[in-house]
Amino acid sequence: MKARVGERLELLVGNEFDPLLNNHKLQGEDASYRSINVTGDVRIVYRKTSRDAYLLVAIGTHSELYS
């Protein structure tokens, strides 16, 4: 899993909207955050804080993050 997370983070930095990431804005009280796919069920929730910086908020399964 560590390797896959690393791959996805490299992809995020290189091409934030690569289709593999399924990068999308969250809604409601989490609207200031975005989510990307690591695997079919594992997500990374983050916020872009500047042109070259990302704040990783959480990594977990869909049900862990959005329950």
- Please give the CATH number for the structural domain made up of 2-65: 3.30.2310.20
Distance CA 44, CA 57 (A): 8
The predicted pLDDT at position 22 comes to 97
B/e letters for 50-59, b = 16+ CB within 10 Å, e = fewer, are: eeeebeebeb
The predicted pLDDT at position 58 comes to 97
The predicted pLDDT at position 52 comes to 87
Q: What is the amino acid identity at position 6?
A: G
Give 10's contacts (C-beta < 8 A, 6+ positions apart): none
Average pLDDT, the chain: 95
Kindly report the pTM of this predicted structure: 0.92
What DSSP assignment string belongs to 12-26? HHH-TT-GGG--EE-
Residues 5-26 have pLDDT tens digits of: 999 999 999 999 999 999 999 9
Residues 36-64 have pLDDT tens digits of: 999 989 999 999 999 989 999 999 999 99
